[in-house]
Structure 1
């Protein structure tokens, strides 16, 4: 009979170095993996911040932000004092009913289609000679999402991504992006809005739009790909 895996070995395997382009999002996803797969028992402590930072290859500030975000979402509890530290909550949040029957294949399909459509849209938009009206429209949608209140963020984020699809110049592309965006938003609505992720997304949005306006198709595609990877990491972390 095969013996169960050593929890320490499993933990070390999951808490491996992350991609630095989305360090915060990947750190959250790695921590969620250890929680949702049962590597940590309720009430058990996480390794110290210094150790987590070394294992994940990120700064202690990134680890601290990830822990703070997961504490606010109800997954972790931080305690001070002699026996302080960060502990797994006794009861972690349950998945919303809409995601109870969600499969990994469903999630992968929505995210793969998003990558195909939206990376291509950014590349195509950067390859076009945009009119002043189109350029102004992109800038306006970018400004809207940067100043969005939390309750408006998903809607204004969607408007920016649809504006990029419109700038690609294919009338057939926009409804495809819109339909897939509805699928992705239904998934995003099941996970918490993390302020650090929103700030990072704003930076990535600016890089995408700047590359499109500069006519740099490769940079626009790369920036969009990195942006989508961050969202994908959080979705897999919370919903897998």
Structure 2
């Protein structure tokens, strides 16, 4: 039996930023972690010292980024023994699309990248001998996505997809998946959440995870392909 998950989304997102735009990239990484559900509602971010070290930025830059996210309504800082920076239970609504259209090349680029990464991740995850911790990670994130209400669905959905990448044990793939997922979520935020589609997505999620847990890489790729193609159809319908 292989060891438990070694590639996690926290490592993927809290990687060193580039020096030229340290503040902006720090805000981006923290926001990614929040909006992808890596740090969930009501949960505490890593300490300032740890975050600054992992992101490769000064404490001053980190505090400025946290202050910006606090002002925007994403986090709150608490003092005291059990203090720190916590993700707010209710996040701001994403910007309205205002009837804007997305450039077709941009849309297809995002969808094509997602297809390659997500189907490959599902196949790769199913081909591994997963540890009990890996299997628990998949089943728990699946259950959280299935139980999520409309307001929190996208974060829980994203967390499940990242969990699939995490159990591949590939840090590079997890990093790429996190970045690609943010691109897709920006597009999804521009279209309505349709409850029948959420029910269908939950059923597809279950099929994907079942195939991974069964070690059936072909079925896992097939189930993920069906899932991402359904999302792509909705995005093309509303945005293309």
Instruction: Normalising by structure 1, report the TM-score.
Output: 0.59
Partner-residue secondary structure (3-state), 1:172: helix
Across the two proteins, how many residue pairs are aligned to each other?
Answer: 146
Supply the distance in 2 between the matched residues of 1:98 and 1:165 (Cα, whole angstroms): 33
1:231 has 2:223 as partner: no
Within 5 A, what are the aligned runs for 1:14-25?
A: none
1:130 has 2:100 as partner: no
Partner-residue secondary structure (3-state), 2:148: coil
Question: 1:100: Cα distance to partner?
Answer: 2.6
Question: 1:168: Cα distance to partner?
Answer: 1.3
Question: 1:212: Cα distance to partner?
Answer: 0.1
Supply the distance in 2 between the matched residues of 1:233 and 1:181 (Cα, whole angstroms): 16
1:150 has 2:146 as partner: no
Question: 1:105: Cα distance to partner?
Answer: 0.6
Give deviations 1:118-163, integer Å, cap 9, x for gaps: 1000000000000000000000000000000111000000000000
Supply the distance in 2 between the matched residues of 1:118 and 1:146 (Cα, whole angstroms): 19
Are residues 185 and 98 of structure 1, via their aligned partners in 2, closer, same or farther at CA, if it must alter by over 3 Å? farther
Q: What is aligned with 2:174?
A: 174
| Stretches (4+) displaced over 4 A | 95-99
Within 5 A, what are the aligned runs for 1:36-115?
A: 96-97=96-97, 100=100, 102-115=102-115
Task: Give 5+ residue unaligned stretches, structure 1.
Answer: 1-94
Question: 1:98: Cα distance to partner?
Answer: 7.3
Supply the distance in 1 between the matched residues of 2:98 and 2:130 (Cα, whole angstroms): 40
Supply the distance in 1 between the matched residues of 2:171 and 2:122 (Cα, whole angstroms): 15
Are residues 98 and 134 of structure 1, via their aligned partners in 2, closer, same or farther at CA, if it must alter by over 3 Å? farther
Are residues 120 and 98 of structure 1, via their aligned partners in 2, closer, same or farther at CA, if it must alter by over 3 Å? farther
Q: What is aligned with 2:217?
A: 217
1:116 has 2:134 as partner: no
Give deviations 1:194-222, integer Å, cap 9, x for gaps: 01000000000000000000000000000
RMSD of aligned C-alpha atoms? 1.5
